[in-house]
Amino acid sequence: MGDFDPKQFVNAPDQDVFESLKKEDLVKLGTFLGLSIKSSWRKRDMQHTLLKHLVEIGKFDSSALSDYEFEGQSDAELKFKQFELKLRLEKEEREKEREHERERQEKEREHEIELEKLKMQREREEREMQERERERELEFQMKKLEVERGEKPGPSGRQDSGFDVTKYIRLVPSFQEKEVDKYFLHFEKIANSLKWPKEFWTMLLQSVLIVKTMG
């Protein structure tokens, strides 16, 4: 092979010829292209710098650089690229872990909400069942009181006198153990204002005592 002519090479670039160039030929080519290529550089560093410029000026396709992406870089540049790659991979891994943790926490919250709904539903059903039990017990105790008083209950708990005790039980104030005297005065005031027959006052009072005992 004769002396290398950088002008002739640039006019008719050939990648195989480029790969065969010696270090001194690469320095000549760099000088011709106006690049500062030093003979102290590694050959691969020279080739990478020259190829990059030849690609930029359209003498070579960008695919020609594929074999030089890392090899053509200095040790410091290579280490920096490797460090950047490591950081990016670690960041992506942390993002995945955070996403998995968010999904796990979301599933836990949904599970807790579902459990709370089930708990509230059970409590509501228990309250309803207890309320029905109290109503049945109250009805039983009222009928028992009627029998003990020798009275004959009419339909739906209505007495022969026409006064429906069960209709007014809900209007009887809750029994107050700590203020018994005041409670009876309050009851009497309500009973008079609603014109409850006095013969039923005891039964009405006993109804709240039954509820108090059951509660």
Q: What is the 3-state secondary structure (H, E, C) of 92-161?
A: HHHHHHHHHHHHHHHHHHHHHHHHHHHHHHHHHHHHHHHHHHHHHHHHHHHHHHHHHCCCCECHHHEECC
User: pTM for the complete prediction?
Assistant: 0.34
Q: Give the model's pLDDT for residue 148.
A: 58
Crossing angle, helix 180-193 and helix 201-214, to 10 degrees? 130
Residues whose CB falls within 8 Å of the CB of residue 143, separated by 6 or more in sequence, listed in order: 153, 157
Check pLDDT > 60 for residue 84: yes
| Side chain identity, residue 113 | I
pLDDT digits (tens, 9 = 90+) for 31-74: 999 998 888 998 888 888 899 899 899 888 877 777 665 554 55
Backbone torsions φ then ψ of 74, nearest 5 degrees: -70, 165
